[in-house]
Structure 1
Amino acid sequence: MGATGSKLEKALGEQFPEGERYFGLENFGNTCYCNSVLQGDPDALFFCVPFREQLLEYHEKNKNNGDAEENLLTCLADLFSQISSQKKKTGVVSPKRFVQRVKKQNELFRSYMHQDAHEFLNFLLNELVDILEKEANTPKPSSDASLLPQKLANGHTNLHVNGVEKEPLVTWVHKNFQGTLTNETKCLLCETVTAKDEPFLDLSLDIEQNSSITSCLKNFSSTETLNAEDKFFCDKCCSLQEAQKRMKIKKPPNILVIHLKRFKYIEQLGRYKKLLYRVVFPLELKLNNTVENSDTEYALFAVVVHVGIGPNHGHYVSLVKSHNHWLYFDDENVEIIDESAVQTYFGSAQEYTGNTDHGYILFYESLDSKR
């Protein structure tokens, strides 16, 4: 990326952010699913500054620990450190060690077939959480039995200190990406509302032609009637009853990750098909009518784009906003683009089109977390 890097530096000139690094990632045949998430996710990971700082802090604390076992977290931390410590402002780095660890951890990513960037993102975030929880729950040598980890019914391990159970561990992955959904079911006979909370690291939204993220979110939280064979068992009525069910966001995350469900299984075809639908994703987003606190506002800062007409082949690139500049990442290549270019990735207004570059995973940062 020598020439490309020089071009990027020249384009930014004196506006090049102090201390920032814009590096492409080498592609090992079919690893664009990984690079796009690492570039669109260190922009949700690397360019998600709070996450980057916490990962680099983790690396600094553990770099001299010769007994530490290599895992996905240490490999990712090493990669971030490698990029951040570069003397040059632009260039290309090789994520070879990280990619090898991904393939070792998960056989799904060992083949040379086209992989799904959303599946990789889910795997990565959950794996990081598991590693951090394991490290936090590993007791230091002690003769005090009250410090030993206690196994809970849900399979998670909590530490007991002086006989008092600690709260479930909240890692910096949780602090950045985790929100809370509330699944509410209202019995139509006694009108009792049953609510069940569940955490989420990203939202997967069904999409329609010529729609928007706002309308997709409204559909996500729309009311569904449970009747006939789908009746709800009401504990108060002690019987099956018709009910109304809805899902809403109770606690929005600092980083809202939205996955557009562009791949749909078509029974007539007997396979998955990519939906080329045009779905407008705004640069600023309000979560109206979906959360208890409706004042939550977000700003778009990264987009993973799927290029291609089907789920089994194609390519991934990323759009990233860094220091008020939009950048286009395509493996080794990085270039600056105009903000208006983002809308070209909304999708296609017609089913048959030459445009196959569509927004697939969106990363929004809460404006409250930036204040």
Structure 2
Amino acid sequence: MVVFSFWQRLLMALINSQKKKTGVIAPKRFVQRLKKQNELFRSYMHQDAHEFLNFLLNELVDILEKEDQAAKKEGETLSPSEKTVNGPKNPQANGVQKEPLVTWVHKNFQGILTNETRCLRCETVTARDEAFFDLSLDIEQNSSITSCLKNFSSTETLNAEDKFFCDKCCSLQEAQKRMKIKKPPHILVIHLKRFKYIEQLGRYKKLSYRVVFPLELKLSNTVEDADSEYSLFAVVVHVGSGPNHGHYVSLVKSHNHWLFFDDENVEMIDESAVQTFFGSAQEYSSNTDHGYILFYESLGANKS
């Protein structure tokens, strides 16, 4: 945790050096490090918040894994007496396969999806699991997160040129496919796919659709068919009419109060103001402030 302890010390130093009791801190050194790590963020072009989130989480995992490997290499250089005190240096020494490192990023953000495909001839179900840090959902006009999640898990028929190769039948067969959540994460991150490529226009267009995201969410489309309850605690809002320009602001719930973050401006807002970022009920509207990335926290995690 060397990297994070550094940033924590830096943050505390900046806070203590502030002349005012309250205020904001410009993340200049963080941005400098970010541009150094990834050339994608070195230009002055409008960047996508979802791409940044994916980069940040994966970069954090890489840093933690490298620190873990460095710590183990350091342990291998210890003297025999030090090894005895600190335990065995290599879990694989006895032929036991080492488990992959589970970081705090995995513990908080990672969930498991299962992709089920049912052969319509022999009824054999083939399941394949995959990990995820966020769910990207297609959206429709005047819909809700619940309906978007149902569409995400809806059954799709594979036929014609899309037939499924069934291992039991040893041939291509018609099949039904669906995606379900096998293991819900502690922090459920939902990305609303507001930018869609329009072939007629030859470019991406922002969908200003009204999508209702509730303060309390029940996740019912899981493998166990047991409801998982979540509470909304943060929203990233895209401000602007298109994908190549605009601005991002954030809503964050802290100590039972909602705060609105717009660069150096931070103000408290009423909880009811969250619904103003659902989107526009009409295709053409002057409102360009739309919820883009949603962060939900498991209520079960809070109880435990």
Question: Common fold, TM-score beyond 0.5?
Answer: yes
Structure 2 equivalent of residue 29 of structure 1: none
Structure 1 equivalent of residue 148 of structure 2: 216
Kept in 2: contact 1:147–1:162 (CA 8 A): no
Q: For the residues of structure 2 that align with 1:294 and 1:85, how far apart are their CA atoms?
A: 47
Structure 2 equivalent of residue 115 of structure 1: 47
> SS state of the match for residue 92, structure 2?
strand
Q: For the residues of structure 1 that align with 2:288 and 2:232, how far apart are their CA atoms?
A: 21
Q: Which moved more, 1:320-329 or 1:289-298?
A: 289-298
Cα separation, partners in 2 of 1:320 and 1:89, compared to 1, 3 Å: farther
Structure 1 residue 135: deviation in Å? Answer: 1.6
Is 1:231 the counterpart of 2:163 in the alignment? yes
Structure 1 equivalent of residue 109 of structure 2: 177
Higher relative contact order (CA 8 A, sep 6+): 1
Amino acid at match of 1:311: P
Q: Percent identity?
A: 80
Amino acid at match of 1:140: E
Structure 1 residue 162: deviation in Å? Answer: 3.4
**Deviations for 1:277-335, whole angstroms, at most 9, x for unmatched residues?**
00000000001133425221000000000000000000000011111100000010100
**Deviations for 1:242-274, whole angstroms, at most 9, x for unmatched residues?**
110000110000000000000000011010000
Q: How many residues align?
A: 291
Structure 2 equivalent of residue 275 of structure 1: 207
**Deviations for 1:20-58, whole angstroms, at most 9, x for unmatched residues?**
xxxxxxxxxxxxxxxxxxxxxxxxxxxxxxxxxxxxxx3
**What TM-score, normalized by structure 1, do the two folds share?**
0.74
Cα separation, partners in 2 of 1:345 and 1:75, compared to 1, 3 Å: farther
Cα separation, partners in 2 of 1:363 and 1:291, compared to 1, 3 Å: farther
**Deviations for 1:72-123, whole angstroms, at most 9, x for unmatched residues?**
x566545554577677652111211111111111111000011001100000
Structure 1 residue 136: deviation in Å? Answer: 1.4
> SS state of the match for residue 207, structure 1?
coil
> SS state of the match for residue 76, structure 2?
coil
Out of 273, 297, 304, the position equivalent to 1:365 is 297
Is 1:264 the counterpart of 2:264 in the alignment? no
Cα separation, partners in 2 of 1:147 and 1:238, compared to 1, 3 Å: farther
Amino acid at match of 2:302: K
> SS state of the match for residue 91, structure 1?
coil
Structure 1 residue 238: deviation in Å? Answer: 0.8
Q: Which runs of 5+ in 1 are unaligned?
A: 1-57, 63-70, 149-158
**Deviations for 1:309-365, whole angstroms, at most 9, x for unmatched residues?**
000000000011111100000010100000000000000000100000000000000
> SS state of the match for residue 247, structure 1?
strand
**Deviations for 1:181-240, whole angstroms, at most 9, x for unmatched residues?**
000001111110010111000000000000000000000000000111111111111111
Structure 2 equivalent of residue 23 of structure 1: none
Structure 2 equivalent of residue 136 of structure 1: 68
Q: Which runs of 5+ in 2 are unaligned?
A: 81-87
Is 1:127 the counterpart of 2:42 in the alignment? no
Is 1:165 the counterpart of 2:97 in the alignment? yes
After superposition, residues 337-348 of structure 1 pair within 5 angstroms as 337-348=269-280
Amino acid at match of 2:236: V
Structure 1 equivalent of residue 236 of structure 2: 304
Q: For the residues of structure 2 that align with 1:239 and 1:90, how far apart are their CA atoms?
A: 68
Kept in 2: contact 1:306–1:360 (CA 8 A): yes
Is 1:294 the counterpart of 2:222 in the alignment? no
Out of 229, 241, 265, the position equivalent to 1:333 is 265
Q: For the residues of structure 2 that align with 1:329 and 1:176, how far apart are their CA atoms?
A: 23
Amino acid at match of 2:106: H
Kept in 1: contact 2:75–2:89 (CA 8 A): no
Structure 2 equivalent of residue 98 of structure 1: 30
Kept in 2: contact 1:210–1:278 (CA 8 A): yes
Structure 1 equivalent of residue 84 of structure 2: none
Kept in 2: contact 1:147–1:160 (CA 8 A): no
Q: For the residues of structure 1 that align with 2:43 and 2:58, how far apart are their CA atoms?
A: 21
